[in-house]
Structure 1
C-alpha cells in the first residue's frame, strides 16, 4: 500500500508539473506559485484628480476606502499646501509589504504600508516623475523622472535617492526582468527604449520605438519578452528580453493605447492591452501574437493588472471612476467597483494584509467619487456612434474636465468648446485647443464650473460641449456634438 501511495504521489507530481512550469504572474518569475484570490489581497488605483489611492477587496469586488494623499482644487493651489498633486504612478515591493505611489504634480514618491495603509515616507525627486517600481531583490526603487532625463534610484531601506541613471529625455516607465538582471526603460519623449544592467546601472542595449510616446511597459514572467505601448500612434511593440534585445512584433492596437500587462492561465500566456479611444481591452497570445478577444469595458480604460493567480484582470476606467473586473478564462467583465477620480496606474498585491482586516487609515470615498459623465458623437450621427467620452470631476464649485477625444483627422488642430445650441450651430465659447496625435485622438483638459453650465435647467443658460476644427486659433466647423 505504501508503495502504491508513493507511486500515485509521483504520478500526481508529474501531472502537475506542466501547470507549475507555467505558473507565476508578473512581476514575479514563472517559477513562482500562483496565489489564489483571497481577502488578504488588495487592489489599488492611483487617482489623479481626487489625489487618492483606492483600496479594494478582490473577493467581494468591494471598495474598502481610500488613502487620501492630497486635496482637490482649490485647496492644492495654496502656497502652504503640503499634500500630493496628480497621484498617478504605482508599484509594489517583492515582499508585498510596501506600495510606492508617484505624484506627478508634487514630484514625489509616497511609500505606503500595505497592511495598515499608513504612509511610511515621502521622497521628493525631479520634475514630473511618472512611474516607480522595486527591483526584484527589493533593495532599490527606480523612478522614471519623465520631466527630465534620468531614472532616480532610491534606496528601499532609507528611502533616500542614491544615484541617477542618465537616459534619453522623458523616461516613461521602467520594469525589470524577473531574474533581476535587466531594467527596461521606455521613453515618452524620444523613440528609444533602453536596457540597463542592474549590476552596475549601465545602459547595455536599446530598442527603437515606432513613436516617441511610450507610457507603459511589462516584462513576461518567463523572462523572454518585453511589451510596451505607444499612446500617440495606437500601437504595441514586443522585443526579446535578452541580448541583443531584438524587436519581434508591432501590433496595431488602437487610439489612446494606454497600458499592457501579461497573464498566464490554463489556456496559455496572454497580453492584455487597454485601448482608451475605443473603450476596450484587447487580448493577444504571446506566442503567435494573434488577437483572441476584444472586451468592451467602459470609458477610457487606463491601468491594468492581473490577480496573483491570473484568473482576473483589473482595469481602471479613467473616465468612469471604476474598476472593470475581467475573468481571464471567459474574457468577460464580471463586476465593476466604484473608485476615485480618474484612476491611472493600478496594482494588485497578493497577501498585502497577512493579518487583521486592513482597514486602518482608510477614509470613505466621499467627494472623491463625484463626477458627471458625457459623450460626444460626430455631428448628425447619434449616440450609438459616440467617439468621445467626457468626465467632469468635481473639485468643489468647479470641475476638471477630461475628454478622451477620438475619431478625428490625425495631426490636425481642434478646439473643445461650448455651444449655445445642441446641434452645435450656435455661438462657440472655446474651452481648450488641442492637436490630435497620429491616431486622430487626444486627451483634453479644462477647468471651470462646466457641469453647472451643461446641466443648467433654463434653456437660455444651458450650453453644450462640442468639438470644432481650428484655424489660427479660431473655431471653425463643428465636427462632434454632445449626445449625453
Structure 2
C-alpha cells in the first residue's frame, strides 16, 4: 500500500513538473509538448453570465466542487453602488496554470484568480465591453479583446496592469496565439476581417477576410498549421493557414448560432469541435481534410469548449441547460453531464491547477446559481414562417431571487426579419399579446433574446396570477402578427 501511494505521488509530481513553461500537447500549447493525464489536480472552469460565477469542476470524477462568486444576481447588480462583476463571460489561463483571467463584459473587467486557492489576486478594468483575455505563451503579457472599442488592451503578465494598446478593426471578438508565441490571431465581431499580429512588436502582419462580421471565437491547432474561427450570425466556420500568407483553406457551413471551436488530439488524429447552439449539437471535423466525422447531441445551446490535458475528453458548456457535457473524443459520445452556474459561456480545462491540497478554499455551493426553469417553443399551427424541421427554440428562466433572466435560443424563423417575444393568454397564442422583447433574426433565422422580470410566475401554473404562455410573433412590439412559435408545455 505504501509503495502504491509513493508511486502515485511521484506520477502526480512528474505530471505537474511538465507544466511550467510548457502548456501540454493540447491547445493552447504545442503538439510536441507532453500530454497531461487527467487527475484530481486538474480543474474545469466555466464563466457563468447570469449568476456571475465561475464554476469549478474536478474532471477525474466529473464532480462540481463549487463556484467562485464574482458578483450578485439581479436586481442587486443594477444598483449604482454595486461593486461586484457583471456578465461574467470570457476566460483564459496562464502558461504555468496558476492563474485564471476572467472577463466580465458588463463591468469592463478582467479578474485574475489563483487556481490553487480560488482567491482573487487583482481586478483590472479596461475599455468598454471586453470579451476574452489570454496570456501570451511566454506568460509576459495578457491580451484582452475590448469588443466595444477598436483595440487589444495589453496587460503586464505579472502585475496585470495595462501597459499598451494594439489598434485593430473595431469590435475585436477573440484572440489566440500560435503555439510558438510568434503570432496573435484576432477576429472581429463588428467588421468582416481577422488580423494577424506579431507578438514581438505588436504590428499587424496579415489580414484574412471574414464572410460575415460576427466572429465570437478563434482557435489554433497545436501543430501550428491552422487557425479556425466561427461566424455566429451566418453559421459558418473558416479555417486558414496559420503561417504567411495566411491563406483561407476552407469555409464550412455549420448551422444556426455557431458558437465556439476548439481542437483535441488523440490516437486518431487532430479534430476540430464546433458548438452549434441552434441545433443543440457539437460537430466534429478532421483537420487533415476538413471532413465531418461526427455530430454529437449535447443539450441546449452549447457554447464554450476545451479539451483535457491529454485530449481524451472535451468539455462543453451548455448555456441553456446550466451544465457541462464531457465528451469522450475517441467515441465522440457524451460520458457525463455536470451541473454548473447560470448560462456558462467560456470554458477552460487547466491541467495541474491545484498542485497540492484539496483546492476547496474560497468556493461556495451553487445555491441560487443552480436554479433555473427550462421551456421550449415549437411552431404554431396558426402561424407561418416557422420551420418545424429545426431544433425547437429553447428558453431558460434563470432565477435571480424573485426575478428571472429569460434567455431564448431562437431558431427556425425567417432570416433578417423583425419578431417579438411575448406573453399570450391562451396556449395556442391567440388573443392580445404582451410584448417582452423585440428582436431581428440573423441571416440563419436565429437570435439570442433576453428579458428580465417575474416571468416564471406567470408562464407556470402557480395559481397566484392568470397564466400566460410564451410565444414568438412576427412584427414589432407595437404591431405584432400571428404567433409562429408557441410554448410547448
TM-score interval (norm. to shorter)? over 0.9
Alignment partner, residue 479 of structure 1: 484
SS at match of 1:65: strand
- Do the aligned residues in 2 keep the contact of 1:378 with 1:386 (CA within 8 Å)? no
1:159-212 CA distance string (max 9 Å, x none): 110100000000000000000000000000000000000110000111000000
Alignment partner, residue 445 of structure 1: 450
2:264 is equivalent to residue 259 of structure 1 = no
Alignment partner, residue 19 of structure 1: none
Aligned partners of 2:282 and 2:487: how far apart in 1? Answer: 25
- Do the aligned residues in 1 keep the contact of 2:435 with 2:477 (CA within 8 Å)? no
SS at match of 1:474: coil
Aligned partners of 1:109 and 1:183: how far apart in 2? Answer: 19
Alignment partner, residue 430 of structure 1: 435
- Do the aligned residues in 2 keep the contact of 1:383 with 1:483 (CA within 8 Å)? no
SS at match of 2:481: strand
Alignment partner, residue 132 of structure 1: 133
Alignment partner, residue 170 of structure 2: 169
Alignment partner, residue 391 of structure 1: 396
Give 1:154 deviation, angstroms.
0.1
Alignment partner, residue 281 of structure 1: 282
Task: Calculate the aligned-residue CA RMSD, in Å.
Answer: 1.4
1:186-244 CA distance string (max 9 Å, x none): 00000000000011000011100000000000001000000000000000000000000
Aligned partners of 2:428 and 2:305: how far apart in 1? Answer: 37
- Greater shift, 342-351 or 68-77, is seen at 68-77
Aligned partners of 1:311 and 1:343: how far apart in 2? Answer: 22
Q: Judging changes above 3 Å, is the alpha-carbon distance between structure 1 residues 382 and 29 closer, same or farther for their aligned structure 2 residues?
A: closer
- Do the aligned residues in 1 keep the contact of 2:318 with 2:344 (CA within 8 Å)? yes
- Do the aligned residues in 2 keep the contact of 1:219 with 1:225 (CA within 8 Å)? yes
SS at match of 1:478: coil
SS at match of 1:76: helix
Q: Judging changes above 3 Å, is the alpha-carbon distance between structure 1 residues 449 and 383 closer, same or farther for their aligned structure 2 residues?
A: farther
Aligned counterparts, 1:47-126, within 5 A: 47-126=48-127
Q: Judging changes above 3 Å, is the alpha-carbon distance between structure 1 residues 175 and 101 closer, same or farther for their aligned structure 2 residues?
A: same
Count of residues in correspondence between the two structures? 462
1:68-107 CA distance string (max 9 Å, x none): 0000111111111111000000000010000000000000
Give 1:155 deviation, angstroms.
0.0
2:233 is equivalent to residue 236 of structure 1 = no
1:25-58 CA distance string (max 9 Å, x none): 0100011011110000000000000000000000
Alignment partner, residue 20 of structure 1: none
Aligned partners of 1:65 and 1:25: how far apart in 2? Answer: 26
- Greater shift, 268-277 or 458-467, is seen at 458-467
SS at match of 2:480: strand
2:471 is equivalent to residue 470 of structure 1 = no
2:35 is equivalent to residue 34 of structure 1 = yes
Aligned partners of 1:161 and 1:128: how far apart in 2? Answer: 16
- Do the aligned residues in 2 keep the contact of 1:376 with 1:386 (CA within 8 Å)? no
Q: Judging changes above 3 Å, is the alpha-carbon distance between structure 1 residues 440 and 291 closer, same or farther for their aligned structure 2 residues?
A: same
Calculate the TM-score normalised by the size of structure 1.
Answer: 0.94
2:319 is equivalent to residue 315 of structure 1 = no
Aligned partners of 2:266 and 2:302: how far apart in 1? Answer: 22
Give 1:348 deviation, angstroms.
0.2
Aligned partners of 2:448 and 2:477: how far apart in 1? Answer: 21
- Do the aligned residues in 1 keep the contact of 2:46 with 2:54 (CA within 8 Å)? yes
Alignment partner, residue 462 of structure 2: 457
Aligned counterparts, 1:404-423, within 5 A: 404-423=409-428
Alignment partner, residue 149 of structure 1: 150
SS at match of 2:482: strand
Can you give the 5+ residue segments of structure 2 that lack an aligned partner in the other structure? 1-23
Alignment partner, residue 17 of structure 2: none
